[in-house]
Amino acid sequence: MAWVSLKIEAQDNTADLISDTLMGLGALSAIIEDANADTLDEQPIFGEPGDPPPGIWQQNLVSALFDEGIDVSKIMADLQHETKLANLQYSTESIQEQDWVRATQSQFDPIKITDNLWIVPTWHSAPNTNAINIVLDPGLAFGTGSHPTTHLCLAWLTQTVSAQSTVLDYGCGSGILAIAAKKLGASHVVGTDIDPQAIQSSLYNAEQNHVTAEFYNAAQYQTRVFDIVVANILSSALSVLAPALAKSCKTGGKIALSGILKEQAADVSAIYAEWFTMNAPQYMDAWVLLTGTKK
């Protein structure tokens, strides 16, 4: 069995209309993608709490999947008639049936954080059996080690966690930072998140990695004091949470903040400077890790 993938060029003000209309014309699925993805012109889209919806890209591709044998010319004619859009540019591709599970898994290889720390999906063998290997599959909760913000935090933890450390992972997502801290030797680790799915994922991933850590919904978390506080969340949330995170870090303790774009770093650092002696930012792609020591 095969399918036909129909890709149509669209502007930001027409992409939703085209996508919805294609579904009405019998598409099995329709998604909107950045037309400049994987190029220097790729446009990041981010939405943060309290901000307006981030919208979509300026230049888009609407990709719709149809059963094999459809009349593409008729679909395009009907689309342009119903949307009142003319001269739409499109292309088609035949999609052959395949093992989609294996095809998806093939996109996720083990991720090297340092020589001694790797993130390994369950369907792979650990490249370095002598390293600390965190077993983690891509899932619903944020944080698999592939994103620069997570990578920066993990690398920092390898340099910071000691056998006596207590660690708070605020906004734990998949639990990856909490699990890493525990495997790096932390004596006690707590993770919190506002998303119930994140708590479930964190508990599951901790069990898979044979580590013990506490995970709480942020609303139920009772403030404690930790040697190390790490928060990989959006910059707007970091700004609002600064007093709470500072309260959770003991005097002389360490903090790491990520989820911050380069242009946001100075403002976030200035907020935390009230409680912390801040270090020079660390960069990876467009992202920043801010660290400091509690005064």
* 106-294 carries CATH number 3.40.50.920: no
Domain with CATH 3.40.50.150 in the chain: 106-294
123 CB contacts (<8 Å, ≥6 apart)? 105, 137
From edge to edge, which strands make up the β-sheet containing 2-11?
A: 29-34, 59-67, 2-11, 90-96
Q: Using CA of residue 118, residue 121, residue 124, residue 130, what is the dihedral sign?
A: positive
Q: Write down the pTM of the prediction.
A: 0.67
Q: How confident is the model at residue 128, as a pLDDT?
A: 84
Per-residue pLDDT of the chain (295 residues; tens, 9 = 90+): 688 899 999 988 888 999 999 999 999 999 988 877 766 666 665 544 444 445 567 788 899 999 888 999 999 999 999 999 999 999 998 887 655 555 555 556 788 888 898 888 877 788 888 988 988 876 655 556 668 899 999 999 999 999 989 999 999 989 999 999 999 999 999 999 998 888 999 999 999 999 999 999 988 888 899 999 999 998 999 999 999 999 999 999 999 999 999 999 999 999 999 999 999 999 998 899 999 999 9
CATH architecture, domain 2-97: 2-Layer Sandwich (3.30)
- Is the CB of residue 2 less than 8 Å from the CB of residue 94? yes
**Helix, strand, or coil here: 214?**
strand
Range list of H helices, the chain: 15-24, 72-83, 100-105, 148-160, 176-183, 196-208, 235-247, 265-272
Closest CA to 169 of 34, 266, 183: 183
Q: At what angle do helices 148-160 and 176-183 cross, to 10 degrees?
A: 20
Q: For residue 85, which amino acid is it?
A: L
C-alpha 230/C-alpha 235 separation (Å) is 13
Domain with CATH 3.30.70.120 in the chain: 2-97
Closest CA to 273 of 290, 250, 248, 289: 290
Q: How confident is the model at residue 49, as a pLDDT?
A: 43
Q: How confident is the model at residue 221, as a pLDDT?
A: 81
Hey, how many other C-beta atoms are within 10 angstroms of the C-beta on 26? 12
